[in-house]
Amino acid sequence: MADPKKSSPLTRDSVIAAHELIKEHIHYTPVLTNTTLTELASTPQSPSALVGTPWEGQEPAKPVIRLWFKCENLQKVGAFKVRGAFHALKRLMAEEGWEEGGGREKGVVTHSSGNHAQALSLAARTMNIPAHIVMPTISTPSKIAATKSYGARVIFSGSTSTEREAVVADVVKDTGARLVPPYDHPDIMLGQGTLGIELQEQVEKMIASGGTKGQTQPKCSFSVKEGGKGKGLDAVIAPCGGGGMLSGVALSAENTGIFVFGAEPEFEGADDCKRGFESGKRVEVVKTLTIADGLRTPVGAYPWSIIYERRLVRQMFSVSEDMIKKALRLVLERMKVVVEPSAVVPLAVALFNEDFRKIVEKEGGEQGWDLGTVFSGGNVSLEAIGKLFAVPDEKAEGKGG
């Protein structure tokens, strides 16, 4: 990898510079709105819906939330990861002595089960550089096929991080390839943060113009800030796995007055960043089979330095598997947009997490908040969606006649 010490400072200006560097290689993905979901977010949950949750017996929150969805599911390779991959690779190529030292011929290597694998493969092909991708044997077949389709050499490994890293070490020894990590590197974080810059600009323009033609708009009246600047986002909520994107988005919002929150699944300890945030110590190991498979990774050291140590993320929240499935169904049926389970975890927080909703109610008041929500990716197969929403077979369960 490029030397982290030679990376640009972790600031909003560096995120803007990263966007300038990679914008020719990425899609300027749309921001969508949806009246139904905005109204649901702004409607108190019924007391019965809170039964069995940590908020059972409490008065339901009454927030006013206007949702704005950044659709990285429509990004190249179907996920935001391509932003960090292109930025890290271009920074590596600009490193003094890289070309002369045979960097182009040696190529790059990474380990990933899916989205980063595809992202680095595409970036490397675009730059005419060999890519060696270490993927667990349990990776989704469609993601393996997609990675190979971009011309990468795929090497299989065991599923644990230790097994992956051992194979990566062998590849580096054999080829001299440079490692481009999935999330734990400043260049990756700055690249991922470019979606936050776009989201802020897009929402401000959409509010100033009354929305974009052809898009459903939230029911509300928008104000204009002093100085003539159009009203923009009050907050952004983004999913967190390794934390590369969440930390990048936090950097993109630094000194803007926009709050940044993180969202995780809670199943089998997948909410490691939330737990670390509350204990003051980063959790380094996670073993979970949450349906939000893109968020099964523990938060990295560099992202943690932004998320927690610099406090650029205000708070972390988590949601149950059932909440994730409900949010996914709403997006599929009401927005007609295909996203993966990981992508709807922030929406699930906005809809169902009463701790978050009470913050919006208290601080947003009657005017409420304009909340940017990141759809991180759309790499999910029809078979996987079918299994998530399959109706149990009564006879198979011994309930039939």
Q: Catalytic site residues?
A: 81, 113
Backbone angles phi, psi at 264, to 5 degrees: -140, 160
How many DSSP H helices and E strands does the chain contain? 16, 10
Burial of 87 (0-12, 13-18, 19+ CB in 10 A): buried
| Calpha distance 69→30 (Å, rounded) | 8
Angle at 352 between CA 351 and CA 357, to 5 degrees: 75
Pairing type for strands 65-71 and 31-32 reads: antiparallel
- On whether the CB atoms of residues 371 and 235 are closer than 8 A, the answer is yes
Task: Return the H-helix or E-strand segment holding 379.
Answer: none
The whole-angstrom separation of Cα 366 and Cα 330 is 25
Q: Phi and psi at residue 360, in whole multiples of 5°?
A: -65, -45
Helix (H) or strand (E) holding 270: none
Q: Give me 264's structure tokens.
A: 């995780």
State the Cα–Cα distance between residues 284 and 15, nearest whole angstrom: 26
Q: Report DSSP state, residue 363.
A: H
